[in-house]
Structure 1
Amino acid sequence: MRFASNMDYKVVFAALETMCEDNFSALCGSSDSVASRLVTCLREVQEHGRALEPVVASLTAVYHHYDFDEETPGNGYRTLVKVLQACLLHIINKGRYIADNCNGAFFRAEHNASEMEAYCSALCQLRALLHLAKQLINDNECGQLYSQQDGELTRRFVQEYSSMHKACFYGRCLGFQFSPALRPVLQTVVISMISYGERYGRQQSRFGMAALSLLTSGKYVIDPETRGTEFERITQNLDVHFWKSFWNLTESGLISGLTRITSNPVQVNLTLTVPPLLLRLPLASDLSLSAAVSPPIAHSGPGPVHMRLISHELREGQDSEELLAFSDTPTTASHRPWVQRHPLSPWLLIHFHGGGFVAQTSKSHEHYLRNWSRELKVPILSVDYSLSPEAPFPRALEECFYAYCWALKNCHLLGSTAERVCLAGDSAGGNLCITVSMKAMTCGIRVPDGMMTAYPATLLTTDASPSRLLTLIDPLLPLGVLAKCLNAYAGIDCHTVPPAVESNSLTTLGRDTAVLLGDLTKGASNWIHSFLDPVLISSGARSQLSLQRRTESSETRRISTPTSTQTTGDHPDYPQGFEPLRAECLAVLLPTSSPIFRNPFVSPLLAPENLLRGLPPVYIVASALDALLDDSVMFAKKLRDMGQPVSLTVVEDLPHGFLSLSQLAKETEYNSRQTEVTSLSRWLTLRRQRFDRGHTLNTLYTPT
């Protein structure tokens, strides 16, 4: 829900005040310990609410200055207010339920008290984030969302992430800011990640780890507090190799098989391996001249580039022996002569997948690529570029650029005349769409006719912005994980951890089976124990234990640890009497301070105008709840101010990476398909603004 006017937040805060007073009247006469906990908690809520109202008032008065335009309301300041509102509405609804039912026979006092305490902790931390946002507004120029010239702001932002308590956002409050349809999905992802993390690094296959994780996941369903604590530990301490391993679970045969069953069927789905050969392409300024395009060589020398061709319809060239020579598994419709062959399409879509530059392939994104090919009626070439930290920048960019040039040169094999060529990508892939186009301009060859980037990463640093404050609460993109991926892509801090042994041999299967049987009793015991605990503990003991845990945890977090005592001055000056909850252990976050992060081909938001002028029309799709929202807004504003064609769409209630979640939540699938397909459809009717190539393209990029 969006604040439509300045009156909306006043109504919400008034409702919060009324709810608190109603509960004080209903609970203050009770001597029950749970009632006492609720009163104490609601007094904290009331205090936070009264302090937050003037902060929200000041933000809502100016946050429209940071939008892309009047028709596209969206920036990190709006998002922080939106997230706060979502938290307040949960508290108000829960408080009304408590006031109406606290004297009922079936009222679950312990459960409701724990829920309210969890949201009170979340509200406390959001109050700190709103205070940080207020500092950003005061210290930055009007309309600027990033403090790129102020290293002090970024240092304080990183310091706060390292020390602030975040577990409350991953327990009972998990995903409260997102669409209700996504919350079960997020809970499944978080629990799977924690359970997988318990087994990470052991000498067994990923299948064995995944199987064993099922036995221990029950306790994280029943005990949200433990879930939050463990998730905070994982996001702060495990290295990039863990995240690569976990995210690549989507590449498993079972999951990819389900993807193919549930997505639209296609006539062509070919994996291609293109050898590293020198290419020659005509210059855009003079078609009679050509430019040489070298194969990728960074870090490991010349090597092949891997791609996947997806086409809903079989088109000319896609069943040719010349194309099948690039494929190891030429099992396509070409072996079914009864399949109708369609003529070459005038359009071609080249796709770069996301995954933080460190994980996933075209297979992870195959579900929506199949849908795009069917709805747009175009062949799609998805590039499987090399991943970091094994192949840091500029290897991925070199491979994507080479794939783009090879596709132009060999479009007739891909089922297209390449009269209209569009790039598409999400997150890291969106970054590569932009930088590939920049590289095409610098080389003097044809640039794409358009590009669609979904929630692109345009500034690969930990610079502070209001939307990036969300990395303190986002279960899909915590700052610690983001920084690990960015440093891996930059080739920094890439020390390796011995990987888990993976093999398809009977020896591995036997070892996994033995470990599975050996841990079966322990795992099953933990599962059953997690269900029985609430029954075995009496109501009074549960209340006393919960109060004791909350008191100890709160006091521990509010008192500076010995490590943080030396850096007390690094924390922002919060209002007198207020201090956010602190984590029991500090996160170690390597700052993105290397000059490589300022390279325009790494962070295109920092590119000078001469590298951006001449880009094709850019269609950006961002999410209001994405920590990288400000990347999209600032990049779109920069292009617009230069006179470059650009459009920005901001969707509501979806997280970063929502394209890859489209199979799991219908609401996500509907919203993502509506915005993505609409943006992609625009380039189908584009005409080159500089000159009319007309039939020339067919003669340049088709065989004689």
Structure 2
Amino acid sequence: MDHKDVFAALQMVCSDVILALNGSRSNSSNADATDRLLGVMRQIQEHGRAVEPLITGFTAVYHHFDLDAQTPGNGYRTLVKVVHSCVTNILQKARYIASNYSGAFFRMDHNMAEMEAYCSALCQLRALLYLAQILLNDNAHGQLYSQEQGGLSERFVEEYTSMHKACFYGRCLGFQFSPSLRPFLQTVVISMVSFGENYKKQQTGLGIAALSFFTSGKYVVDPELRGTEFERITQNLDMQFWKTFWNLTETGLLSSLTRIASTVVQVNVILTIPAVCLSLPLASDPSLSVSVNPPVAHWGPGPVKVRLISHTLRQGQDSAELLALSRPEGPQLYLPGGFSRQTAPLSPGLLIHFHGGGFVAQTSKSHENYLKSWSKDLNAPILSVDYSLAPEAPFPRALEECFYAYCWALKNCHLLGSTAERVCLVGDSAGGNLCITVSMRAMSLCVRVPDGIVAAYPATLLTTDASPSRLLTLIDPLLPLSVLYKCIDAYAGSSCHSVQPAQQIDTLTALGQDTVKLLTNFTQGATNWFQNLLEPKAAAASSSSTIPSNGPSPSKSHSVAKPQEVQEYPENFEPLRSRCLVDIHTPCTPIMKNPFVSPLLAPDSLLKGLPPVHIVASALDALLDDSVMFAKKLRNINQPVTLTVVEDLPHGFLSLFQLSKETQEASDICVKRIREVFQLEEQPADQRQPGLS
């Protein structure tokens, strides 16, 4: 449906509801709720009238920001899409009210609360459209990022801090995503707020998780409380909380449950690569060699952990040389039931994987479900690197370890079950960044570059510059702006005062140590942004808020003191304001503009010679504009690049590939790109191996 038709329908259905409710007010048993709903419907009409010309303006020009006519996708398109989704939900609920308001089973209070929540969401989206309009006016033609010093980037942080966000995490949670994923997102948010509530209590990591399970019920029945608590957590709790929460999926119990549903493989072992100097042939002249030193940043030479996954046991994978480096995972070594001991020949392809997690959390275990499926689909071994994590190991430790593991794999491919005739680097989010920067480093040292890169929703610009897609961090339950900045700050090393050598310990032990460290050194471990909680101005601003404890009501005032007014809002409009006012620490260090941190800022000389880059992004990802602009930059210097933009999925969709048809299809796109790098023929759909065994 055309957006003009959508907004015309919105005005009409709101008028229908208003007319119907006015006619029944005298007979209503809940007059207060009826009056509030009438006020909400009028406010929705007003927001609709204001938003429609903004949407018209964006739809007239947003195609100029696409990679090309065949690849529609950029942050302006996404904002329009999100507003359209919000209005569509309002239409559905309003039509239900108009048709059923007089029914015996109609719940006025519930429907009033639903419409209030979506009215609040539409109000906040209207504010984002005004901010995006500033970007559109200020930026150069086709430029998605505002790289002006200060400007909207700083103003957006100020707005993010003070703008009400809880409405996007309560009744409206995940309205912009595929319906099949909304129950999962609700589970994640409920788990997070329950975990945050119990985090400071004297429990182990699993103990906190168990306690959170019993306290989560109130967040299920009270969406407003859930939204308010989620907003508080995302702005207040420090990096150690996020590391521990994200790593819960790697505890023994949860990882065992996910392993039950995953593809069975013959090889799944942890390898410890010793820290020795490697000698590799020069890419330009194999008769000469170049030395590659082990990673040394921050604490000197140290080993690197990797995980080898192979659906089929291949030559070299059972050799004594590899077994000396290996530690099997789980009760099985190589041969689960139903597999023979016979080894298959070496595969011509080798997949080297760098996992996501914002540079601060997770390991290969968090990603092994889709890697097992890929190993089966591609009939190739996969080496996934467990690089050291920030803030204990900021840049460049992770890059050094990934590059060293890549070089070791090239030199020892025969042990991994491959001839390495075709090598593909693949990574998601932070891992996508590392795929690109590892290839840049290989070119710099004249080492063989991979034959291709497949990067899923990569982070290519680790600065605080604003873009239309990054405005989505106001509403994204998986990547809020405050958490994104914490990850950038940790990887850049801004808040890292001292580091210790990385210990080679299992994930559950690491989780327990992280928890104990937070509980025993809470004040020492508090980072710069958390210290702002103690400032009197934050406490004073919080006490002056007029937002009631049960969440925002569009019929009441929400204005509070802001750090700085955004003058571009119309005089008669003000977004809803939060009662949780905390200054967000904005990372600021020259390292963020290092091309090996932010490859989007790399000079052409560092990008020329990269292998073909295949980017798979999501239209609803806050990092979408990273992918679009990086693809544009590569194309402008005649580097081979493809960009695929999938719809209706959040950041991190690869880790969700078993949850829905849409995430499985997105995973299949990545597999298709890897097959292109391996120069394999596309497997017919009726012969493709299923993701589950």
TM-score between both structures, scaled by the size of structure 1 = 0.87
Deviation at 1:678, TM superposition (A): 1.3
Name the residue aligned to 2:527: none
Deviation at 1:433, TM superposition (A): 0.1
Name the residue aligned to 1:696: none
Name the residue aligned to 2:214: 215
Name the residue aligned to 1:574: 569
Show CA shifts across 1:268-290 (max 9, x none). 11100011000010111111111
One-letter amino acid of the structure 2 residue matched with residue 432 of structure 1: L
Match of 2:360 among 358, 361, 367: 358
Q: Secondary structure at the match of 1:110?
A: helix
On the 8 A contact 2:250/2:508 being kept in 1, the answer is: no
Name the residue aligned to 1:540: none
Name the residue aligned to 2:616: 621
One-letter amino acid of the structure 2 residue matched with residue 45 of structure 1: I
Name the residue aligned to 1:332: 333
Runs of 4+ aligned residues of structure 1 deviating over 6 Å after TM superposition are 334-337, 502-505, 547-552
Show CA shifts across 1:122-172 (max 9, x none). 000000001111111000011100011342121111111111100000000
Matches within 5 A, 1:455-470: 455-470=457-472
Q: Does residue 601 of structure 1 match 2:596? A: yes
Match of 1:394 among 369, 379, 396: 396
On the 8 A contact 2:36/2:555 being kept in 1, the answer is: no
Q: Secondary structure at the match of 2:317?
A: coil
Q: Secondary structure at the match of 2:256?
A: helix
Deviation at 1:203, TM superposition (A): 2.7
Name the residue aligned to 1:9: 3
Show CA shifts across 1:29-87 (max 9, x none). 31422211111000000000000111000000000000011111000000000000000
Assess, with a 3 A threshold, how the Cα gap between structure 1 residues 552 and 646 changes in structure 2: closer, same or farther: closer
Matches within 5 A, 1:196-595: 196-329=195-328, 332-333=333-334, 338-494=340-496, 558-561=558-561, 564=562, 567-569=563-565, 571-595=566-590
Q: Secondary structure at the match of 1:346?
A: strand
Give the whole-Å Cα distance in 1 for the aligned partners of 2:463 and 2:202. 34
On the 8 A contact 2:116/2:554 being kept in 1, the answer is: no
Deviation at 1:504, TM superposition (A): 9.1
Give the whole-Å Cα distance in 1 for the aligned partners of 2:14 and 2:269. 61
Name the residue aligned to 1:670: 664
Q: Secondary structure at the match of 2:272?
A: strand
On the 8 A contact 1:420/1:686 being kept in 2, the answer is: no
On the 8 A contact 1:661/1:668 being kept in 2, the answer is: no
Name the residue aligned to 2:685: none
Matches within 5 A, 1:651-670: 651-663=646-658, 665-670=659-664
Q: CA RMSD in A?
A: 2.3
Give the whole-Å Cα distance in 1 for the aligned partners of 2:472 and 2:551. 27
Assess, with a 3 A threshold, how the Cα gap between structure 1 residues 581 and 683 changes in structure 2: closer, same or farther: same
One-letter amino acid of the structure 2 residue matched with residue 568 of structure 1: Q
One-letter amino acid of the structure 1 residue matched with residue 46 of structure 2: E
Q: Secondary structure at the match of 1:215?
A: helix
One-letter amino acid of the structure 1 residue matched with residue 675 of structure 2: S
One-letter amino acid of the structure 1 residue matched with residue 60 of structure 2: A
Assess, with a 3 A threshold, how the Cα gap between structure 1 residues 365 and 549 changes in structure 2: closer, same or farther: closer
Deviation at 1:673, TM superposition (A): 2.3
Q: Which runs of 5+ in 2 are unaligned?
A: 500-505, 517-546, 682-693
One-letter amino acid of the structure 2 residue matched with residue 674 of structure 1: D
One-letter amino acid of the structure 2 residue matched with residue 590 of structure 1: H
Give the whole-Å Cα distance in 1 for the aligned partners of 2:640 and 2:479. 30
Deviation at 1:9, TM superposition (A): 0.5
Give the whole-Å Cα distance in 1 for the aligned partners of 2:271 and 2:433. 23
One-letter amino acid of the structure 1 residue matched with residue 411 of structure 2: K
On the 8 A contact 1:449/1:686 being kept in 2, the answer is: no
On the 8 A contact 1:319/1:334 being kept in 2, the answer is: no
Q: Secondary structure at the match of 1:360?
A: coil
Q: Secondary structure at the match of 2:213?
A: helix
On the 8 A contact 1:23/1:95 being kept in 2, the answer is: yes
Give the whole-Å Cα distance in 1 for the aligned partners of 2:56 and 2:508. 60
Give the whole-Å Cα distance in 2 for the aligned partners of 1:503 and 1:350. 21
Give the whole-Å Cα distance in 1 for the aligned partners of 2:507 and 2:429. 31
Deviation at 1:335, TM superposition (A): 10
Q: Does residue 650 of structure 1 match 2:649? A: no
One-letter amino acid of the structure 1 residue matched with residue 321 of structure 2: E
Assess, with a 3 A threshold, how the Cα gap between structure 1 residues 504 and 427 changes in structure 2: closer, same or farther: closer
Deviation at 1:400, TM superposition (A): 0.1
Show CA shifts across 1:12-35 (max 9, x none). 001001101101110113142221
Deviation at 1:572, TM superposition (A): 3.9
Show CA shifts across 1:633-673 (max 9, x none). 0000000011000000000000000011123x222432222
On the 8 A contact 1:319/1:332 being kept in 2, the answer is: no
Q: Secondary structure at the match of 1:558?
A: coil
Assess, with a 3 A threshold, how the Cα gap between structure 1 residues 256 and 504 changes in structure 2: closer, same or farther: closer
Give the whole-Å Cα distance in 2 for the aligned partners of 1:22 and 1:668. 36
One-letter amino acid of the structure 2 residue matched with residue 270 of structure 1: V
Assess, with a 3 A threshold, how the Cα gap between structure 1 residues 276 and 548 changes in structure 2: closer, same or farther: closer
Q: Does residue 679 of structure 1 match 2:673? A: yes
One-letter amino acid of the structure 1 residue matched with residue 615 of structure 2: I
Name the residue aligned to 1:188: 187
Give the whole-Å Cα distance in 2 for the aligned partners of 1:669 and 1:649. 14
Name the residue aligned to 2:19: 25
Count of aligned positions? 633
Assess, with a 3 A threshold, how the Cα gap between structure 1 residues 551 and 455 changes in structure 2: closer, same or farther: closer
Q: Does residue 38 of structure 1 match 2:37? A: yes
Give the whole-Å Cα distance in 2 for the aligned partners of 1:418 and 1:24. 68
Give the whole-Å Cα distance in 1 for the aligned partners of 2:7 and 2:388. 50
Give the whole-Å Cα distance in 2 for the aligned partners of 1:161 and 1:588. 10
Q: Does residue 61 of structure 1 match 2:55? A: no
